[in-house]
Structure 1
Amino acid sequence: MEKFEKVSGIAAPMPLVNIDTDMIIPKEFLKTIKRSGLGVHAFDEMRYDRQGNEIPDFVLNKPQYRDASIIVAGDNFGCGSSREHAPWALADFGIKVIVSTSFADIFYNNCFKNGMLPIVLPQEQVDVLMKDAEKGANARMEVDLEAQTISTSDGEVFSFDIDPFKKHCLIEGLDDIGLTLEKVSAIDTFETAAAQARPWV
């Protein structure tokens, strides 16, 4: 997993509330166990019509938001079923940061495991960021994980809270496997001792 330090990018405004995991990645795309290739299907039913053509009015289809790396969303983002394909699809699309007033717990935790930063802010601050995102490609926000700040294109700065352990994992680029590999020396020592103590196992 890539190390997360700072993100400076275009923010897409998605003011809908209760954007659930089925909206993020519909169930017909859950057959794969690969994390790559799902970005093209992110928000599939909102991005494409039944013939597979792009719906021009959907925010991520608009030219100014095609390269968005930040989403500013309505309340309760990522609710619904606990499919990990949802953060996989967003990460593969290129999303690094999602800002909302609240997230579903499982989705929130899955974001960190897939290198994305979910930021919870009060409604009035999300409203400011939403308005800034509506300016389009010229309005670039900056997220500094070390400082725990997000800045608007006009330089207004908001601070956010984050669990220290989750912050450490993002900054160091550690998913569950990476955390385990940090302990590989201790694991090897244990396995050697266990083999000597119980050679019949």
Structure 2
Amino acid sequence: MDKFEKLTGVAAPMPLVNIDTDMIIPKQFLKTIKRSGLGKNLFDEMRYDDNGNEREDFVLNQPAYRHAEIIVAGDNFGCGSSREHAPWALLDFGIRCVISTSFADIFFNNCFKNGILPVVLPQEAIDELMEDARKGSNARITVDLESQTVTSSDGNTFHFEVDPFKKHCLLNGLDDIGLTLEKASAIDTFEAKAETLRPWV
């Protein structure tokens, strides 16, 4: 998993509330167990018409936001079913941070496990960042995990809270496997001792 330290990038404004996981990645794309390749189907039913053509009015189809790395969203982002494909699709598209007033719990935790930083800020901060994001690709937002701040293109800074353990994992690029491998030496020692004590196993 890639480390998340400091990100300065284009933010796509998505003021909708209750953006659920089926909107993020519709159910027909859940057959794969691969984490790659889902970006093209991110927000599929919102991005494409029935003939597979791009909808010009959808934010991620607009030239300014095709390479967005941040989403500024309405309340309750990631609600709905617990599919881990949702953060996979966001990450494969290039999204590394989602900023909202609140997130569904399972989606929130899945983001951290996949290298995405979900940032919770009060509504007044979201309103300002949403307006900033609407300026397009010339307005870049900076998200600094170490200092736990989000800074608008105008230089206004907002502080956010994050669980220390989750922060450690993102800063060091540690998913569940990475956390286990941190204990590799202790695991090897245990297994060697167990083999000596129980050679028949």
Normalising by the residue count of structure 2, what TM-score does the alignment of the two structures yield?
0.99
The corresponding residue for 1:169 is: 169
Task: Count matched residues.
Answer: 201
Name the SS of the counterpart of 1:13 in structure 2: strand
Which residue of the partner structure matches residue 46 of structure 1? 46
For 1:100, give the aligned amino acid. Answer: S
| CA deviation profile, 1:42-79 (whole Å, cap 9, x unmatched) | 00000000100000000000011101000000000000
Deviation (angstroms), 1:199: 1.7
In 2, the alpha carbon distance for the partners of 1:38 and 1:192 equals 41
* Deviations, residues 92-114 of structure 1 (Å, cap 9, x unaligned): 00001100000000000000111
1:114 paired residue number:
114
Shift of 1:88: 0.1
In the other structure, the counterpart of 1:143 is 143
Partner of 2:7: 7
Question: Deviations for 1:20-63, whole angstroms, at most 9, x for unmatched residues?
Answer: 00000000000111100000000000000010000000000001
| AA in 2 matched with 1:178 | G
| Deviation for aligned residue 1:196 | 1.3
Q: Which amino acid aligns with 2:83?
A: R
In the TM superposition, structure 1's runs of 4+ consecutive aligned residues that sit over 6 Å from their partners are: none
TM-superposed deviation, 1:184? 0.5
Instruction: Report the Cα distance in structure 1 between the residues aligned to 2:77 and 2:3, rounded to whole angstroms.
Output: 24
Where structure 1 has 5 or more consecutive residues not aligned to the other structure, the ranges are: none
Write out per-residue CA displacement over residues 101-149 of structure 1, whole angstroms, 9 at most, x where no aligned residue: 0000000000011101000011111111111111111110001110110
Match of 2:56, SS?
coil
Corresponding position: 1:62 with 2:62: yes
Q: Which runs of 5+ in 2 are unaligned?
A: none
Match of 1:152 in 2: 152
Distance 2:179 2:27 in 1: 30
**Aligned ranges 1:82-93 → 2 under 5 Å:** 82-93=82-93
Partner of 1:186: 186
Instruction: Give, in whole Å, the separation in 1 of the partners of 2:148 and 2:50.
Output: 42
Counterpart Cα distance in 2 of 1:133 and 1:173: 27
- Aligned-residue CA RMSD in angstroms? 0.5
State the distance in 1 between where 2:19 and 2:143 align.
22
- 2:50 & 2:180 partners in 1: Cα distance? 44
Q: State the partner residue of 1:196.
A: 196
Q: Please state whether the residue corresponding to 2:32 is helix, strand or coil.
A: coil
- Equivalent position amino acid for 1:104 in 2: A
2:12 counterpart SS class: strand
What is the TM-score when the length of structure 1 is the normalising length?
0.99
Structure 2: how far apart are the matches of 1:82 and 1:191? 35
Q: How much has 1:177 moved relative to structure 2? A: 0.3
Structure 1 CA distance for aligned equivalents of residues 108 and 38 of structure 2? 19
Paired amino acid for 2:111: C
